[in-house]
Amino acid sequence: MKTTITYSIKSVAIICATLLFLAVLKIPIEYYTLLRVVIFTGAILVIISLSNKIIWVIIFGVITILFNPIIPVYLYLKSYWIPIDIIAGILFLLVLFFEKPKKENKKIEPKKQREFKRDKIY
């Protein structure tokens, strides 16, 4: 189950970062409405998957508030949104590089020495 969540977060992070970097271009307003919905759900999924790391929860909580489609935050000027979009896109990419699945530590058992009848001392 853990690997499924990890791979889905990677794909969600790539999609969100790509959409955020495309938001810098001059695109119709409908794109930004879609962007709010996608980034909001992507940030919620990242928060759920990284709930044990409090710094990521705080960072993506702020992203969730900024891109909230229910109660939107309006900054009215695109020049204010461009750095926010770039920083949020970089943060989604950072999730990919910093959250690598941990390898399970296998216990190394000491090798048993073989005993043969001929090796016994009587």
Distance CA 45, CA 107 (A): 33
pLDDT in tens, 50-93: 888 888 899 999 999 999 989 888 888 888 889 999 999 999 99
pLDDT interval class at 5 (50, 70, 90): low
- Look at residue 85 and tell me if it is in a domain: yes
- Look at residue 28 and tell me if it is in a domain: yes
Its domain, for residue 57, covers: 2-98
- Look at residue 80 and tell me if it is in a domain: yes
- Look at residue 108 and tell me if it is in a domain: no
CA dist 58 → 48, 64, 74, 75, 79 (Å): 12, 10, 21, 21, 25
Looking at residue 23, its amino acid is A
- Look at residue 39 and tell me if it is in a domain: yes
Does 118 have pLDDT greater than 90?
no
Distance CA 90, CA 103 (A): 26
- Look at residue 44 and tell me if it is in a domain: yes
Q: What contacts 79, CB < 8 A, 6 or more positions away?
A: none
pLDDT in tens, 97-111: 876 555 566 667 777
- Look at residue 120 and tell me if it is in a domain: no
Whether residue 45 contacts residue 7, with contact meaning beta carbons closer than 8 Å, is answered with no
Report the predicted TM-score, pTM, of the whole model to 2 decimal places.
0.73
Distance CA 45, CA 48 (A): 5
Looking at residue 111, its amino acid is K
Please tell me the predicted confidence (pLDDT) of residue 7.
57
- Look at residue 63 and tell me if it is in a domain: yes
Total domains, the chain = 1
- 44: nearest Cα among 8, 87, 73: 8
Please tell me the predicted confidence (pLDDT) of residue 9.
82
Please tell me the predicted confidence (pLDDT) of residue 69.
87
